[in-house]
Amino acid sequence: MDSLQTGGTSIKRDELMDQVKEQIAIANAQEILTKMTEKCFKKCIDKPGTSLGNSEQKCIAMCMDRYMDSWNVVSKAYTNRLQRERHRM
């Protein structure tokens, strides 16, 4: 079965999978941004005000960098594990 019939329109399986992967990537990016914002705000902002102080700006920048670095390490390890498991099958 190379294609799926939906409402009279033929959609190839690969195209559908690409769309699903893109939607998952967008959802993951939104989740990362939300979690990063929550965690870094909680860690770096003691008393919210109308502007950020210099130390708060630096803390947020470093927190976000660390969070993204950590996410990338975990994501890469997970991807590698999935690839190893696929090769075993």
Residue-wise pLDDT for 13-62, tens only, equals 888 888 898 999 899 889 989 999 999 999 999 888 899 999 999 999 99
* Residues 79, 75: Cα–Cα separation, whole Å: 6
pLDDT band at 4 (very low <50, low <70, confident <90, very high): low
11-35 burial, b if ≥16 CB within 10 A, otherwise e? eeeeeeeeeeeeeeeeeeeeeeeee
Contact 60, 44 (CB under 8 A): yes
* Residues 21, 60: Cα–Cα separation, whole Å: 30
Residue 69 predicted with pLDDT over 90: yes
pLDDT score of 45: 93
User: What's 3-88's CATH class?
Assistant: mainly alpha
Task: Please provide the distance, in angstroms rounded to a whole number, between the alpha carbons at the two ends of the chain.
Answer: 22
